[in-house]
Structure formats: C-alpha cells, structure tokens
C-alpha cells in the first residue's frame, strides 16, 4: 500500500495505540501534529530495515506486517530476540530520535511491511514547535529504556548466579 492509500484517520488510530504516545492518545489534535512528521516506508518480505552496528536516525512504527529482531553474540552468531507484528502496536529504533549511536539489533521483515517513520531531525523540530507533546514522548522513551535496562540487569544477575552455582558445584 502506498501512502496515498492510507487514510489520515487510520494513521491517527494507529498512532493512538502506540505506547509512546499514550499520554495524548485521546487528543486528536496532538496526534494530527505528530502524524504530520510521519512518513511511510514500504519493505518487501525478507528485507533488512536496520542493521546491527549501523548508524541511523529513524524510528519505525510497524503499521502493517511482521518483523524479526535479531542480535549477534560476541562470537558473531546471530539469534532471534523477538518477532513483532503490527497488531501488537510496536515500534523500534526509538533511541535514534533522541540519541546518536549504533543500532543495537538487526530488523528483518517477515512479510511485506509498511512503517510509519519519524526522523531525528523531524522529531527535534517537532519538539521545538510542540514542547509539551515532545516532552511526553521523550518521557515515554525514557520509561521504555529504563524497563529494558532493568530487565538486562535482572538477566545479568541470573547469568551471574548460574555461573557462581556452576563454579561452586564443580
């Protein structure tokens, strides 16, 4: 589907379901302002959207389709972290609109996909023009990062405990 085939109302409905925008999900005017900086990108099945280690400045909202998030181990082996579908109102690459750095994972389409895309430059301009909405989005990104950090810390402790137990039992 091309951008012209997607109604403005459908796009606003999708944005309202994305957790990063929950604080103004019932405010159609704010959603319209956000929608104004969203472009649509279409990818065929089995396309690389983001490559781990590359630089990018776009955030992606899965509008239609399914993607797979993959990571590499330190030895270079690749594994699937999770599969995400549009029905789950998911997004990825959100750190790229607030911070520069390498992409932390590879994202590959598992079907034909359409994404709503927000660039760092557009988001920064948007925040200058609409600071209250921008603050709400930035706070939600921070909450997402904090939750991931807590999970990573818990996972590391679990691995450490397993290692200590293995050493004790050897």
Q: What is the pLDDT of residues 114-148, one digit of tens each?
A: 999 999 999 999 999 999 999 999 999 999 999 98
What is the structure's pLDDT at 8? 87
Confirm if 103 and 58 have CB atoms less than 8 A apart. Answer: no
Contacts of 50 (CB under 8 A, 6+ apart): 56, 60, 92, 93, 103, 105, 106, 107
pLDDT of residue 151: 86
CATH number at residue 93: 2.60.120.10
How confident is residue 7, by pLDDT bands cut at 50, 70 and 90?
Answer: confident
> What is the chain's mean pLDDT, rounded?
92
Q: Which pLDDT tens digit goes with each residue over 66-81?
A: 999 999 998 989 999 9
Residues 6 or more apart whose CB falls under 8 angstroms from that of 21 comprise 15, 31, 34, 136, 137, 140
Range of the domain at 39: 3-168
Share of the chain above pLDDT 90, in %: 78
**Backbone dihedral region of 93: left (phi > 0), alpha (psi from -120 to 50 degrees) or beta?**
left
Give the Cα separation of 60 and 127 in Å (integer): 18
Give pLDDT, residue 148.
84
On whether the CB atoms of residues 143 and 93 are closer than 8 A, the answer is no
pLDDT attached to residue 6: 64
In this predicted model, what pLDDT tens digit does every residue of 83-125 receive, in sequence order? 999 999 999 999 999 998 899 999 999 999 999 999 999 999 9
Prediction pTM value: 0.86
Number of domains in the chain: 1
Give the pLDDT of residue 2: 43
Tens of pLDDT, residues 143-163: 999 998 898 888 888 888 888
Angle between helices 131-168 and 120-129 (to 10 degrees): 130
């Amino acid at each position: 589907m091309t951008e012209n085939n997607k109604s403005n109302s459908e796009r606003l409905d999708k944005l309202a379901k994305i957790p990063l925008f929950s604080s103004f999900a019932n405010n159609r005017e704010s959603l319209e302002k956000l929608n104004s900086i969203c472009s649509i990108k279409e990818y065929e099945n089995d396309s690389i959207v983001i490559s781990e280690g590359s630089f990018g400045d776009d955030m992606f909202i899965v509008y239609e389709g399914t993607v797979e998030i993959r990571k590499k181990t330190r030895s270079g082996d690749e594994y699937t972290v999770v599969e995400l579908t549009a029905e789950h109102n998911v997004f990825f690459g959100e750190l790229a609109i607030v911070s520069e750095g390498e992409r932390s994972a590879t994202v590959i389409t598992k079907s034909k996909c359409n994404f709503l895309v927000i660039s760092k430059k557009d988001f920064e301009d948007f925040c200058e023009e609409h600071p209250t909405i921008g603050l709400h989005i930035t706070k939600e990104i921070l909450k997402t990062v904090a939750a991931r950090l807590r999970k990573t810390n818990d996972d590391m402790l679990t691995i450490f405990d397993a290692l200590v137990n293995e050493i004790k039992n050897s």
